[in-house]
Amino acid sequence: MTEKKTTKRRKRVVYVDHLYLCLALRQVPEQLPRRIYLRAKEQFFDTNTQHRVAVARARYAGKMREMAVSFENGGGVITLNYYSSVERTTKKESNQRPQVDTL
């Protein structure tokens, strides 16, 4: 009896045209969104946009920042849609009540 080797096939990562435009206008390295997706320790589903979001730390503009990239997982292809930096809030900040002006 022979053993079958199971290998994990890497999915192909492609960019939408809009992402290429954003990268060119902001002079961002073309590989940055791909690196964010591949290194992501966290992945979420955004209910507003109906896209998945991958979050990872990456060097951007001379600093290490939390960066996010939205993507769609379609079969053997991962389509990256958009990237941005992420502002993390602490638990203390998120639990504060909003200030409301009274009349």
pTM attached to this predicted model? 0.70
Mean pLDDT of the region 62-72: 88
Q: Tokens standing for 36?
A: 């964010």
Strands 51-60 and 42-46: antiparallel
Mean pLDDT of the chain: 78
Q: Which of 7-21, 65-79, 88-102 has the lowest mean pLDDT?
A: 88-102
Contacting residues for 56 by C-beta, under 8 A, at least 6 apart: 35, 36, 37, 39, 40, 41, 42, 66, 67
Name the residue range of residue 39's domain.
Answer: 12-62+72-87
In a domain? residue 67:
no
With respect to residue 45, please indicate whether it lies within any of the assigned structural domains. yes
| Domain presence at residue 3 | no
Asked if the structure places residue 96 within a domain, the reply is no
